[in-house]
Structure 1
Amino acid sequence: MPPALLAPRVYVDVHIIQTVPPANMNRDDQGNPKDAVYGGVRRSRVSSQAWKRATRMHFAESRPVEDHATRTRAVAAALAERLGPVPGVPDEESAVRLATALLAPLGIKAGKKEGDTAYLFFYGQSQLDRLVALVADRAPELLALDDKALTEEAAGMGVQEVFRTGHPLDVALFGRMVADLATLRVDASTQVAHALSTHAVDLEFDYFTAVDDETERRNETGAGMIGNIGFNSATLYRYATVGLHQLLRNLSPGRTGGAAWPAAVAGVRDFVTSFARSVPAGYGNSFAHRTLPSLVAVVVRTDQPVNLVSAFEAPVTPGEQQGIAAASVMRLADEHARVAELWGDPAPYTSAVHAFGQDSRVADAVEAAFGAGRNFGALLDGLEAHLDGAYRTEPV
């Protein structure tokens, strides 16, 4: 059983206002930036899947390799590669045979390509290491068995238990769906909304030509290539929420001595960091669109997650003395305060970091809604201290 919280449910909502220049970071089937109609007008949209992947990739930059997770159809090939150096595994064919037998108890449907699963499987690198450890001292003995006997032997080695415990943070946050075997499913502790522009947008096109460097020398004319790329620029409202209670539940199996709690709190911190600092990379070389948010606000709730996109149901328009980003931040701050007053359930903890001068109207609105502004590191420290102090039931 996972350790209990002082509240049955604890959600950490993350609200971000971020402006991006002309970009096409997440394109549709026509190659154009994704969009959506909201509040009766066309908005720029970045899918939740795109930003979740960008967040996961940001994790990889700061976490040790053994804590990484992989999502692939080729899990058998990855396991066979790990088994190759094991003493008693003479060749690649033997490694593949042993890997196939080890994964057979999972009951995952085979894909069209030999050795692949029918769908992507999400696992941790440490989980593959534990599978290798199961056979490290028995490889010659196991490989001497015929295929049927080898599969039967693998069925009793606790392979399913390996994938039910010791989840890396990525799997504990984003979950794992396995249609064939419900016992391997992991309920996601994180929900990520599609990012929407706070204002109306128009699709634009960049018509480009690529010059052939040899054309002039050959006394020829014309471009080496021509084409166009769709783009837009937008101030985006981004939202995600982490259920600390579910994250703790996902991290508990395989961790003893109270280790799940610090892992869960650190996991929330890592998620907020990577969600805020990541950007999908589509057409990155053409647009160089990486920016940092104008506002990051965290809100801890014990009732339910609350997406504040309703602040932008009426599209934001630029004012004479402030741009779209400033107006969007003020809208968000007002909506947060309005929701708390209307429903009578103010959040037990709020904090924000913003890019506006401390003496501005925007700063006043943010601080009235979310508390005194601070830098990003202080925001993370304060969030971590609040979660650890307010909801932990185990002794430190």
Structure 2
Amino acid sequence: MTERFYIDVHVVQTVPPANLNRDDQGNPKEAIYGGVRRSRVSSQAWKRASRRHFDEQAPEADRATRTKRIASELLTRITRDTGLDRENAARIATALLAQLGISQGKKAGDTAYLLFYGNAQLDAVASLVTDRAAELAALEDGALTEAVKELPVVEKFQSGHPVGVALFGRMVADIPKLNVDAAVQVAHALSTHETQLEFDYFTAVDDQNEKEETGAGMIGTIGFNSATLYRYATVGFTQLADNLGGDTEAALDALDQFLDSFALSAPTGYENSFAHRTRPSLVVVVVRTDQPVNLVSAFEEPVPAEAGIQATSARRLAEEHLTATQVWGDTPLYQAASHTFSSREPRTKDTAEALTQAFGDLVNFADLRTTLRARLTTALREQA
């Protein structure tokens, strides 16, 4: 039987006062876990941050877009490629997208929900009419719809997925043929310790009126907290390769991009107010062949509110992994940790030793990624 590979990514990261991901009241999201209130960042927030991180490094055509304005985007491409006026380009775009059967939104030209697609996929749809644009523009609406009915519009969205769609999938409730099963699962990030919601009371002075008006020109509050977060994601490599048309090299590239972006990205909520960007103190990768394993149970008992929360959290994670692998008899294909804890420092010595015992010798992040790819490549070759 062909083995499936699950790449678990565990991250411990400390964030200073921030409001990364707000709730409907404008305050940082929270959750009760282990009987206490924790800081929480939703999976959707970090998935979007990861996607935007690797899209920033990719050519425009390789990026993914999630929007209700697909008709407008297609219109722009047709206008650009054919020289048609916007009115006729809009008619052709509408006729092409009619094949998808997407429900219309309340606003003219919008779809009823966000559609996730690759820029190259929409370029391919636009190219279907490039050579016939003038001919199609001359037709009445009914004849135009019939003329484009046989063009492979749906097929263009079913293949050639960009990294974002291949990783995070696409759900279109009323058009199952456009669905793409996600290859990635991302957990809600949780603080490893109890947190308290705080408020920043701020005022703003009117620079042009400060002599005549001594009071504030604006007064407000922003909710915030600070936390050491446990973040977890898992990548189903087989599903990822399937989403990329069976191209394992493309899947390895996508996995590497995701690992880099998941580790280094951050949601941008109130970024200018808090300057909250940090890097993880610990990134662990474990390749399993049985199932993904979230290690959040390491923090069911909250880490005590004292100095060294970050180091204690990393040590707890290492101990949980070691205990779990011994109890269940797990033998990961590959496991490694990149971290900032030193065995030469008395305050982090125990943590560094626990991490080495659980995941092997410390490796830097670049080597972790390189070795992960090499191990998976070897395993795939042996499997073939």
TM-score when normalising by structure 2 = 0.96
Partner of 1:256: none
Q: CA deviation at 1:394?
A: 8.6
CA distance in 1, matches of 2:216, 2:140: 63
Taking only the aligned residue pairs, the percentage that are identical comes to 61
Q: CA deviation at 1:140?
A: 1.2
Q: Choose from 299, 307, 321 the match for 1:336.
A: 321
Partner of 2:312: 327
Given that 1:7 and 1:391 are in contact with CA atoms closer than 8 Å, whether structure 2 keeps it comes out as no
Partner of 1:375: 364
Partner of 1:312: 299
Partner of 2:192: 198
User: Which consecutive unaligned segments of at least 5 residues does structure 2 have?
Assistant: none
CA distance in 2, matches of 1:252, 1:392: 18
Are 2:23 and 1:31 equivalent residues in the alignment? Answer: no
CA distance in 2, matches of 1:318, 1:356: 19
CA distance in 1, matches of 2:211, 2:202: 22
Q: Which amino acid counterpart does residue 249 of structure 2 have in structure 1?
A: P
Are 2:338 and 1:353 equivalent residues in the alignment? Answer: yes
Given that 1:7 and 1:302 are in contact with CA atoms closer than 8 Å, whether structure 2 keeps it comes out as no
Partner of 2:268, secondary structure, is coil
Partner of 1:297: 284
Partner of 1:331, secondary structure, is helix
Please report the RMSD computed on the Cα atoms of aligned residues, expressed in angstroms. 1.4
Q: Which amino acid counterpart does residue 92 of structure 2 have in structure 1?
A: L
TM-score when normalising by structure 1 = 0.93
Q: Choose from 218, 230, 233 the match for 1:225.
A: 218
CA distance in 2, matches of 1:44, 1:35: 5
Q: CA deviation at 1:318?
A: 4.8
Q: Choose from 361, 376, 381 the match for 1:387.
A: 376
What is the 5 A alignment of 1:1-396?
A: 7-87=2-82, 89-218=83-212, 220-252=213-245, 260-318=247-305, 323-359=308-344, 360-392=349-381
Given that 1:198 and 1:235 are in contact with CA atoms closer than 8 Å, whether structure 2 keeps it comes out as yes
Partner of 1:19, secondary structure, is strand
Which shifted more, 374-383 or 151-160? 151-160
Given that 2:281 and 2:339 are in contact with CA atoms closer than 8 Å, whether structure 1 keeps it comes out as yes
Q: CA deviation at 1:346?
A: 2.3
Q: CA deviation at 1:7?
A: 3.8
Partner of 1:3: none
CA distance in 2, matches of 1:14, 1:7: 23
Q: CA deviation at 1:363?
A: 1.1
The runs of 4+ residues in structure 1 deviating greater than 6 Å are none
Partner of 1:85, secondary structure, is helix
CA distance in 2, matches of 1:30, 1:361: 41
CA distance in 1, matches of 2:340, 2:251: 29
